């Protein structure tokens, strides 16, 4: 919002180059904790560039695993359409089947003492998934933390402080949050 066509293009270019630059510093497994694109559908040119950056990174690091967890912008409740994130993930899985894991449901990350709950369809399903969290070092979620405005919104799941205190995890890392908090 609040951009011109030229500034929006410059911002997209900046974000893509930042992503490529970030990959240059990573030589271990990587979890993208939802909303890589922050929109359900993005420009196909941007998607292809992100794919090529990621593909080159995976090719250069054949020993790493890329975990791709769904975020709230990556799925639509009643849609039969494929999101840009889903297409990105399917292309990468086709080329790197042993290295790319798509996380649509809660799962343990093997060898990482971690558990991931991606964005789920609604708060009720999310709450049920929270009740199944095993004892882990790190729990990765794609939701809000203790956000009054997200309590009744399925598009933005919420973890209350009371729920967080009951979870059997040493650390909780949130995707979705737009402001850093500790």
pLDDT tens digit sequence for 69-81? 998 877 776 667 8
pLDDT of residue 42: 92
pLDDT at 125 over 70: yes
Residues sharing a CB contact under 8 Å with residue 47, sequence separation 6 or more, in sequence order: 37, 84, 87, 88
Q: Which of 177, 159, 175, 157 is nearest to 167 (CA)?
A: 159
pLDDT of residue 181: 66
pLDDT of residue 180: 64
Q: Which of 168, 166, 149, 167 is nearest to 158 (CA)?
A: 149
Rounded Cα distance between 179 and 31, Å, is 19
Average pLDDT of the chain, as a whole number? 90
pLDDT tens digit sequence for 34-66? 989 888 999 999 999 999 999 999 999 999 999
Phi first, then psi: give them for residue 130, nearest 5 degrees: -60, -35
CA dihedral (99, 55, 51, 64) in degrees, to 10, reads 40
pLDDT tens digit sequence for 6-15? 998 898 899 9
DSSP 134: P
Buried b (16+ CB within 10 A) or exposed e, 50-74: bbebbbebbeebeeebbbbbbbbbb
pLDDT at 120 over 80: yes
Mean pLDDT of 114-128: 93
Decide: 92 and 84 in contact? Cβ < 8 Å.
no
pLDDT of residue 77: 63
């Amino acid at each position: 919002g609040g951009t011109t066509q030229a500034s929006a293009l410059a911002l997209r270019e900046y974000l893509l180059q930042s992503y490529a630059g970030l990959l240059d510093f990573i030589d271990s497994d990587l979890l993208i904790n939802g909303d890589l694109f922050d929109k359900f559908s993005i420009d196909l040119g941007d998607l292809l560039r992100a794919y090529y950056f990621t593909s080159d990174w995976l090719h250069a690091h054949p020993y790493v695993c890329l975990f791709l967890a769904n975020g709230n912008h990556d799925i639509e409740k009643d849609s039969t359409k494929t999101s840009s994130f889903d297409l990105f993930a399917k292309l990468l899985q086709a080329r790197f089947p042993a290295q790319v894991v798509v996380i649509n449901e809660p799962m343990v990350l093997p060898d990482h003492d971690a558990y991931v709950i991606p964005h789920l369809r609604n708060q009720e399903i999310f709450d049920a998934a929270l009740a199944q969290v095993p004892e882990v070092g790190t729990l990765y979620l794609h939701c809000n933390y203790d956000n009054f405005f997200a309590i009744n919104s399925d598009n933005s799941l919420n973890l209350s402080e009371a729920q967080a205190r009951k979870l059997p995890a040493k650390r909780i890392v949130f995707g979705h949050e737009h402001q850093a908090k500790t």
